[in-house]
């Protein structure tokens, strides 16, 4: 017979260790803040992050890291344009620019 209490306890312990690893990872936390900033802008622009295909890329501009968060439709068949692109400064999580695809 399976001991579900022991399995649940082990699963919980593994999840807690993984969560601690993420919280200690400076890049992961920085990306979480950047994505939260971009998601807020997307919401204000009428875009649902949950219903979007999201890509994140990094570029350098005058020595500063700029993160580009692109929101596009998950179902792109028969659809053209309409992407939302949000550039976020990696140092302070301030939005540098917002672009709408045609």
Q: What is the 3-state secondary structure (H, E, C) of the chain?
A: CCCHHHHHHHHHHHHHHHHHHHHHCHHHHHHHHHHHHHHHHHHHCCCCHHHEEEEEEEEEECCEEEEEEEEEECCCCCCCCCCEEEEEECCCCCEEEEEECC
In the chain, where the domains are located: 4-100
Q: Which fold has domain 4-100?
A: Nuclear Transport Factor 2; Chain: A, (3.10.450)
| 9-48 pLDDT per residue, tens | 777 776 677 677 777 888 889 999 999 999 999 999 999 9
Stated pTM of the model: 0.75
| 41-68 pLDDT per residue, tens | 999 999 999 999 999 999 987 888 999 9
């Amino acid at each position: 017979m399976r001991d579900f209490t022991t399995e649940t306890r082990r699963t919980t312990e593994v999840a807690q260790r993984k969560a601690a690893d993420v919280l200690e990872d400076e890049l992961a936390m920085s990306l979480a803040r950047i994505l939260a900033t971009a998601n807020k802008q997307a919401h204000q622009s009428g875009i649902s992050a949950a219903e979007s295909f999201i890509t994140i890329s990094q570029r350098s501009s005058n020595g500063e890291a700029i993160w580009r968060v692109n929101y596009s439709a998950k179902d792109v068949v028969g659809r053209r344009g309409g992407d939302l692109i949000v550039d976020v400064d990696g140092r302070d999580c301030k939005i540098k620019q917002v672009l709408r695809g045609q």
